[in-house]
């Protein structure tokens, strides 16, 4: 099971501030950038803020108390979306590890993803359905074709 961790990287001191919300309480931790990258190697080195799914083992490594955390199903968050300010007040949004990039109205993006109104750039984990609502295209899932009733 995975839980979502919010992070904010400090550019000057090389530290990462982590926030974990669960069971009605908020936990915070401050770790070095190198510890953060070793724990979450899939995070972009340019990323300054965002949300990422974390396993209990990763949370313990970062110093969180994982006893009172309600986990989220692993299949719930499967895609990472990076967003930044774009032309005319819109967001330029890209799907992590793909070449898909699009422009979306900030209100629509915040409504779909639940990102704070104060956030203007970062990354967020979303489901495939949310990513499709934003406008990203996924290849169809290949299924075995049914055999024809008259085939020998």
Range of the domain at 97: 79-134
| 54 and 8, same domain (yes or no) | yes
pLDDT of 138 reads 81
pLDDT of 2 reads 60
Question: Are the CB atoms for 69 and 3 separated by under 8 Å?
Answer: yes
pLDDT of 141 reads 60
Question: Are the CB atoms for 91 and 76 separated by under 8 Å?
Answer: no
pLDDT of 151 reads 54
* Number of domains comprising the chain: 2
| 87 and 51, same domain (yes or no) | no
* Per-residue pLDDT of the chain in tens (152 residues, 90 and over written 9): 567 888 888 766 678 888 887 655 678 888 888 888 888 888 877 778 888 888 878 888 887 776 655 555 545 557 888 888 888 889 999 987 788 999 999 999 988 888 888 878 888 888 888 888 999 988 776 655 655 555 55
- Chain center to CA of 56: 17
pLDDT of 16 reads 84
Length of the chain in terms of residues written: 152
Indicate whether 72 belongs to any domain.
no
- What count of other Cβ atoms lies within 10 Å of the Cβ of residue 62? 21
Indicate whether 71 belongs to any domain.
no
Question: Are the CB atoms for 120 and 102 separated by under 8 Å?
Answer: no
- DSSP SS3 for 24: coil
């Amino acid at each position: 099971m995975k839980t979502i961790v919010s992070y904010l990287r400090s550019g000057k001191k090389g530290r990462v501030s982590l926030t974990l919300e669960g069971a009605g309480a908020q936990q915070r931790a401050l770790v070095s950038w190198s510890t953060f990258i070793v724990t979450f190697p899939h995070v972009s080195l340019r990323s300054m803020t965002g949300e990422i799914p974390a396993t209990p083992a990763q949370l313990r490594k970062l110093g969180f108390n994982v006893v009172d955390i309600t986990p989220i199903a692993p299949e719930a968050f499967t895609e990472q979306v990076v967003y930044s300010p774009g032309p005319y007040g819109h967001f330029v949004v890209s799907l992590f590890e793909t070449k898909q990039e699009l422009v979306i109205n900030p209100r629509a993006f915040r409504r779909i993803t639940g990102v704070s109104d104060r956030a203007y750039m970062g990354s967020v984990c979303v489901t495939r359905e949310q990513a499709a609502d934003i406008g990203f295209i996924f290849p169809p899932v290949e299924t075995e074709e049914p055999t024809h009733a008259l085939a020998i």
